[in-house]
Structure 1
Amino acid sequence: MSVWITRLSSSAPGGLLVAVKDAIDVAGVVTTAGSAPVRARSETATADAACLSGVRAAGAVIVGKTTLTEMCVSPVGDNAVFGTPVNPLAPSLIPGGSSSGSAVAVATGEVDLGLGTDTGGSVRIPAACCGVVGLKTTWGRVPLGGVWPLAPSLDVVGPIARDVSGVVEGMRLLAPDWAELPAPARVVGRLRIEGVEDAVEKAIDQALKGLEVREVWLPGWDDTYEALDAIILGELWQAHHALLDADGVGEFVNGALHAGRDVTPRRLRDALAYRAAWQAEVSALLREVDVLALPTLVADPPPLSDFTRFPLTLLTAPFNLAGVPALAMPVPSDGPVPVSLQLVGPLNGEELLCATGLALELSLRR
């Protein structure tokens, strides 16, 4: 099972065990970003990424650096060079990416906390695929110094844990401004997106029973994907154009670099302008309800042998464009992989999401 690119430690008497995605600098280790040419061109990190300061201060042990999809680009979780982590719930299915190793390390009990990055769903998708909890943080809340950039205006760092309380512990380490949890959300806006399987929607509705739920919609949803593509590809090109056609770069990533080269300044400006309008639309809706609820994935995770047509980021990426936090957590359902509920909150509303997730976990256990 190819969970680790670099293994550092396996013991911490009484301490928290942490897995760090190999897109986040750890002092004394080369950051590979899951890419052979990046590894060959990189030097050993002389300092930890800024987001790890709380991890070190708490005395937690960094067990190692985990596998990811090359350069954080794909949401599948596979890696032809370093190996693909095996989904512990269903070995024939994808583990989800790009933070696949961190999610699998948590799901198998090797660590208490996994750290990943999320640009279009890369914390929430592997959490959903592996039956654990993942939190995409508000853009800018967790510092990005020393983190491999995919699209800097969308990238965030977030925690993965086996339950919501583990994510809360992770946020205490990641966010210096972490506050006491408020009361859970009172009004939940239920968002339904075309293309979700009926069984998934039913599991979400069942999990929300007992809460005040209102049906809501976001008229600008379908227009988010063009803006997302332009920003991700354009910023990927700006940050990493030197790797275009480099020896050892995978076909998928190289194709993304070629596409990024073709993103014109005008297309990127239009995408950034649309992002501002979309952020305003999402924020307005979150003044009418406390949180939004929808699935994380449209169906069970696809098999590793056939994932190309599965819309992995359909339900996650629009919230990266909005910059708001989103929590993915498993809820009871049939099948080897539980359905994942996605809760979305207002900017800097991670505490509200975690409080609501804890209340839901307690209710579902009962």
Structure 2
Amino acid sequence: MKSPEFKDFKEIAQSLGLQLSDEELGQYYSALQPSFDGYVQLETLSQEKETPFNEAREGHLVDPQDNPLGAWYWKGEIVGAKTGLLVGKRVVIKDNVAVAGMPLSNGTSLMADFRPSEDATVVQRILGAGGTIVGQSVCENLCFSGSSFTSDTGPVRNPYDPSRSSGGSSSGSAVLLATGEVDMAIGGDQGGSIRIPAAWCGVYGLKPTWGLVPYTGAFPIEPSLDHLGPMARTVPDVARLLEVIAGPDGNDPRQKGLTFASSGDYMAALGQELRGFRLGVVKEGFGWPQSDPRVDDMVWGVSESLESKGVSLASVSIPWHRQAMLVWNAIAVEGTWAVMMKGNASGYGWKGRYSADLMSYWAKAWRQNAAALPATVKQLLLVASYMEEHTYGKYYAMAQNLAGELRRAYDNALKDVDLLVMPTLPMTATRLPGKDDPIAEQLNKAFEMVVNTAPFDVSGHPAMTLPCGLIDGLPVGMMIVGKYGDEATLLRFADAFARQVSSPPSPPEAVKLGQEQ
């Protein structure tokens, strides 16, 4: 560390409006020198206590000709323990989750040379349970998009129609599942980023209750929105992976003080029937301005067909659902600015495991080349900087306070039913925008689909997307939402639904092509 010179203090004092004379500033400068000497000693202490992973695990960036859908970022096999729930399972990790010795780019070339020195908690648990990590999947640039065109490695193409989006931000994870190249995947979700690509690629994706799965070792967006969760081609594999990765690790402040009565043996929830379930179809989840009526009709129709299976169906109104995006937007914009950008991918003031290397690397990377940020994040910086300068966090505070109202609205609706139901997304996969499309069009394509998914990142309720059919050859997802901490009920329903009503669609020729190549 380089200690400051007098001129550095003078520039800082002037920028802060402290109005200090040179004589006064000189006294501060002399008095504070021991503090900077202490930082040098602190670094020595930290290095003595750390035993970081400092080897490069074998692997390689994937050549475009071997990556026709753009879903792979890095291939490199890490074999886990010889016994455990995941023995024989091939697992891909979203490229915003630390795998020690492998790259962590988070979809941006600004992070291309960063190598974490510690495995994320979910990675440790997967390897400890016998899973084989086969690489990292492409994600959207800084995970700030629900489409799949912002990654600096190029677009991730939908396996059902390569001209269309695969959904984001866990784009590559969903595609690699749909093509059969992996059995399981880790995704991340702050506005729908597990459920969006899972729905558009015809696989299963579960956003757990906020805090159930430790976020330690993953690149954050905003702590009150951050989730990691399982994705797979079958419900039993979703349950199996969740059973491995769920539970407190003692390092994630998102988990402090939370208890989950049903967490643990998710596999035991499987193998039951649909009869007896009580579903509430949320009226406000249908008929958005951007909704495709055929998607609405399909989800309504599938829901109504469940009555013949012994399911009790009720129409439920939750007016708050239509206001939820106002809350999500304020938290996502100002919170992301404070934590991911100004807070150097970490923020301050919480007890847990920090990544000093990540903070240092990212802080320099984006400040030295902010022009390389995607349009979605540039938009965030413009809005959040204005709000910080003119409203001083007032609207972020309002939104966080209203988040409790939103959670209570869903809690009240769930008192009389087991699960809430609505379309995961209001439309099928949209066409990928071109590089020369107007910025406004790119921004619209990045966020137009999140209206049903993002509210549950704010409220924290568990939500899962189930494949329920095809429209023009493109998958449609039905979203189920459960009580706080009750992933077991979601998995029990999803498993019965897959066996009795609708399983994932058969791979089309585009999927087979991606798998063969």
Looking at structure 2, the residues matched to 361 and 206 of structure 1 have their Cα atoms a distance apart, in angstroms, of: 16
Q: What displacement does 1:225 show?
A: 1.3
Where does residue 75 of structure 2 map in the other structure? 7
Partner-residue secondary structure (3-state), 1:200: helix
Matched residue SS, 2:450: coil
Alignment counterpart, residue 174 of structure 1, candidates 245, 252, 272 = 245
Q: Which sections of structure 1, spanning at least 5 residues, go unmatched?
A: none
Deviations 1:195-249 (A, max 9, x none): 2333222221332222211000112122211211111111211121353662422
Does residue 314 of structure 2 align to residue 246 of structure 1? no
Q: Which residue of 1 aligns with 2:292?
A: 197
Contact 1:73 1:253 survives alignment (8 Å): yes
Work out whether residues 21 and 116 of structure 1, in 8 Å CA contact, stay in contact via their aligned partners in 2: yes
| Counterpart contact for 2:190–2:227, Cα < 8 Å | yes
Partners of 2:264 and 2:371 in 1: CA distance? 43
Pairing partner for 1:364 from 491, 501, 504: 501
Range moving further from structure 2, 230-239 or 183-192: 183-192
The corresponding residue for 2:117 is: 46
In 1, Cα distance between equivalents of 2:502 and 2:315: 25
Higher mean C-alpha displacement, 115-124 vs 219-228 = 219-228
Q: CA offset at residue 54 of structure 1?
A: 2.2
Q: Which residue of 1 aligns with 2:451?
A: 314
1:26 matched to 2:126: no
Partner Cα separation in structure 2 for residue 256 and residue 85 of structure 1: 23
Deviates more, 1:87-96 or 1:160-169: 160-169
- How far did residue 175 of structure 1 move? 1.2
Report the Cα offset of residue 80 of structure 1.
4.7
Kept in 1, the 8 Å contact 2:79–2:130? The answer is no
Whole-angstrom CA distance in 1 between matches of 2:88 and 2:201 = 24
- The size of the alignment, in residue pairs, is 364
- SS state of the match for residue 335, structure 2? helix
Asked if the contact 1:37/1:247 (under 8 Å) is kept, the reply is: no
Letter of the aligned partner of 2:322 in structure 1?
A: D
1:1-366 maps to which residues of 2 (within 5 A)? 1=68, 2-9=70-77, 15-40=88-113, 42=114, 44-176=115-247, 177-179=263-265, 180-181=268-269, 186-192=277-283, 193-195=286-288, 196-208=291-303, 209=305, 210=307, 211-239=311-339, 240-241=341-342, 242=363, 243=366, 246-263=370-387, 264-305=392-433, 308=442, 309=444, 311-364=448-501
| Aligned counterparts of 1:265 and 1:249: Cα–Cα separation in 2 | 24
Residue 52 of structure 1 deviates from its aligned partner by 2.2
Comparing 146-155 with 310-319, which one deviates more in the overlay? 310-319
Amino acid at match of 1:23: N
Larger Rg: 2
TM-score by length of 1: 0.93
Counterpart of 1:275, as a letter, is A
Give deviations 1:44-65, integer Å, cap 9, x for gaps.
2111111223211111111111
Matches of 2:240 and 2:105, distance apart in 1? 27
Q: Conserved in 2, the CA contact under 8 Å of 1:68 and 1:78?
A: no
* 116 and 3 in structure 1: CA distance in 2 versus 1, 3 angstrom threshold: same
Gaps of 5+ in 2: 1-67, 248-262, 343-362, 435-440, 504-517
Deviation at 1:281, TM superposition (A): 1.0
The answer to whether the 8 A contact 2:203-2:232 is kept is yes
> What value does the CA root-mean-square deviation take over the aligned residues?
2.1
Q: Percent identity?
A: 29
